[in-house]
Structure 1
Amino acid sequence: MSALETMMPPVQRAAVNGVEIAYYEAGPRQGVPVVLCHGFPELAFSWRHQIKALADAGHWVIAPDQRGYGLSSKPDKVTDYDIDHLTGDMAALLDHLGVERAIFCGHDWGGIVVWQMPLIHPSRVAGVIGLNTPFIPRAPADPIVIMRNRFGPDMYIVWFQNPDEPEAVLGADTTKTMSFFMRRPAALQAAAQPSASGSTFAFKDLLQQWDGAADPRDPLLTPDELAVFADSFRNGGFFGPVSWYRNFTRNWERAETLPTRIDGIPCLMITAELDAVLPPSAAEPMPAFIGDLETKLVRGSGHWTQQEKPDEVNSLILDWLDRRFPK
């Protein structure tokens, strides 16, 4: 049996919002559920440690493979991955489960989704937990233009705007790609230094030059866990995941009509000390935009916090849930 089968609840499927979403569910079906939203390049499997801990503590927990990922549908248009579709999937999943409101917890790109949920679907959100990814107010200009000017044309989000090439590079050897990304601590500090092209966070260059045997960072995953990620992206490709990034400009345009604050719901922000992409300093402006906010720091963790420091993350989430959503 694969690690997906031994470490996760049985997969379930929901036809929602024009796609099929695969999801994993655990714990008693009572109270306010916690929906765990993964990032890039990840899967619901990234939450395996949290699913078990939350369920064992008596919480109803739901972790979807989001559109474009894992066992869920992979639409073939870039615009099928904009923020309205991504948040719409989560609202429709609640409809499928007969749930009025949920606590949304998101890491990396999933963090962007969960912070947008109370702006786009406020009636469906009981609380928000951001892991590494802070609430980011709308940029003063197109964020792709800002990133290109600040980080260069090969910065990974800017590079992702190119058609076809990112999928080809990332998908050429998915075991190598996932081994490169999933390291402990996964701060990727080297990526913050300019590459030969002058760009920072130029993952394309780093990946193509990477030699796993010479990488001083410890692997984050066991071989069986790595195989879950590598097999999933080998089978499903990277078009969908990369297309989330290709909607940055579209989402920025959409945000012009959205609220700029989150009030009336409890929010928890968990930062990771060694995350070079989403450093703790990125969360410092959040109190100006969120009325009810707690912020916690996980020391010694890079970017993949729920997998690098699962016990610390579980403790922080459970403590907050016990205080803000007592059973």
Structure 2
Amino acid sequence: MAFEIEHYYVRTNGITLHVVQCGPLEGPLVILLHGFPEFWYSWRKQIPALAEAGYRVWVPDQRGYNLSEKPTGVSNYRIDKLGADIIGLLDAAGQAKAVVIGHDWGAAVAWWLAGRYPARVAQAAILNVPHPAVLSRALRKAPRQLLKSWYIYFFQLPWLPEKLFRRKEYLFGRASLRGTSRPDTFSSYDLQQYVKAWAQPGALTGMINWYRAAFRKTGRTGKVGRITVPVRLLWGQRDAFLEPVLGCLSLTMCEKGELTYFKDATHWLHQEEPRAVNKLLLEFLQTQGQPYTQRNLR
């Protein structure tokens, strides 16, 4: 059965988020969280598969992105506030628990929720982002990862990253997607949708403030320990931004977890390998997690 994409505005944690919804109203809740520089559209190849399998799918534009609210000030983009936005969505949906699936920055939020709100997360699926403690160690001690993360430090500058991103009809953003993905992953139509999202008033600063807030003093708000909820890690080995070894290191932080590497996929694996990704996600949703293992490379 095919389900239509529905658009709503949901009040949560003191702001309003644009949330795409799909699937049967009575279905178990699955929340998909996008990363940088994307928006809900990045999950376009997963939403129908999950909905048709009987899940109620909520896909927010996270704060600062596309049609969602964009509060000013870097402190409004700390990880605890980003996570509280999603807990508010669970409350708005009237659900005690949800499956949370995240990619890139959305995966960082998923890790944080799984670690800090395990009673609210039924299962967590993570695409191409390591456990926060693993990433923190890599940025301090792994020269190869530090080199790949150069842009994080550039994004700490005021106004200049936004100016660069906006030049020549958002060439930086378009090039970052096409230049780090397999050919034909992002069509011209897809990039037009991204440009529209980036052009929303305040969007570029809101998006980049996620990176700025990550480097500001946050006390223990960003600390995530061992994960007790079931975790499914999917990782494209040709990731231009993150070293593949971070995936198996992250697995050791999970009591119940499984990792699958995609040998020929990049950071954007869910858009390059949607059929395989969807199959693995649906298999995971039908289980409660196993003691951690690493599958053979795909």
One-letter amino acid of the structure 2 residue matched with residue 246 of structure 1:
R
Among 259, 263, 283, the alignment partner of 1:319 is: 283
Distance 2:72 2:136 in 1: 30
For structure 2, the 5+ residue unaligned runs are: 290-298
Alpha-carbon spacing, 1:99–1:174, altered in 2? closer, same or farther (3 Å): farther
One-letter amino acid of the structure 2 residue matched with residue 68 of structure 1:
G
**What is the Cα deviation at residue 283 of structure 1?**
1.2
Distance 1:10 1:246 in 2: 32
**1:222-301 maps to which residues of 2 (within 5 A)?**
222-236=187-201, 237-250=203-216, 253-255=219-221, 258=223, 260-263=225-228, 265-301=229-265
State the partner residue of 2:72.
Answer: 76
DSSP 3-state at the match of 2:119: helix
Alpha-carbon spacing, 1:121–1:150, altered in 2? closer, same or farther (3 Å): closer
DSSP 3-state at the match of 2:285: helix
State the partner residue of 1:161.
Answer: 156
One-letter amino acid of the structure 1 residue matched with residue 165 of structure 2:
L
Distance 1:316 1:174 in 2: 37
**What is the Cα deviation at residue 260 of structure 1?**
1.4
Alpha-carbon spacing, 1:279–1:150, altered in 2? closer, same or farther (3 Å): closer
CA contact (8 A) 1:36 1:106 kept: yes
One-letter amino acid of the structure 2 residue matched with residue 70 of structure 1:
N
Residue 96, structure 1, aligned to residue 92, structure 2: yes
Distance 1:185 1:249 in 2: 24
Distance 2:31 2:158 in 1: 32
CA contact (8 A) 2:135 2:246 kept: no
One-letter amino acid of the structure 1 residue matched with residue 164 of structure 2:
V
Alpha-carbon spacing, 1:139–1:301, altered in 2? closer, same or farther (3 Å): closer
State the partner residue of 1:177.
Answer: 172
**What is the Cα deviation at residue 176 of structure 1?**
2.1
One-letter amino acid of the structure 2 residue matched with residue 58 of structure 1:
G
State the partner residue of 1:117.
Answer: 113
CA contact (8 A) 1:102 1:125 kept: yes
State the partner residue of 1:107.
Answer: 103
TM-score normalised according to structure 2 size: 0.87
Residue 309, structure 1, aligned to residue 273, structure 2: yes
**What is the Cα deviation at residue 155 of structure 1?**
1.4
Distance 1:67 1:316 in 2: 28
DSSP 3-state at the match of 1:36: strand
DSSP 3-state at the match of 1:276: coil
RMSD: 2.7
**What is the Cα deviation at residue 304 of structure 1?**
1.0
One-letter amino acid of the structure 2 residue matched with residue 242 of structure 1:
I
Alpha-carbon spacing, 1:34–1:104, altered in 2? closer, same or farther (3 Å): same
State the partner residue of 2:129.
Answer: 133
Percent sequence identity over aligned pairs:
32
Distance 1:251 1:167 in 2: 23
CA contact (8 A) 1:66 1:72 kept: yes
For structure 1, the 5+ residue unaligned runs are: 1-6, 187-216
Alpha-carbon spacing, 1:114–1:8, altered in 2? closer, same or farther (3 Å): farther
Residue 58, structure 1, aligned to residue 54, structure 2: yes
CA contact (8 A) 1:271 1:280 kept: yes
DSSP 3-state at the match of 2:58: strand
**What is the Cα deviation at residue 139 of structure 1?**
6.9
CA contact (8 A) 1:10 1:24 kept: yes
Report Cα offsets for 1:158-188 as digits up to 9, x if no partner.
01111110011112234423320222762xx
One-letter amino acid of the structure 1 residue matched with residue 211 of structure 2:
Y
Alpha-carbon spacing, 1:182–1:163, altered in 2? closer, same or farther (3 Å): same
Q: Highest Rg: 1 or 2? A: 1
DSSP 3-state at the match of 1:24: strand
DSSP 3-state at the match of 1:253: coil
TM-score normalised according to structure 1 size: 0.80
Distance 1:57 1:251 in 2: 42
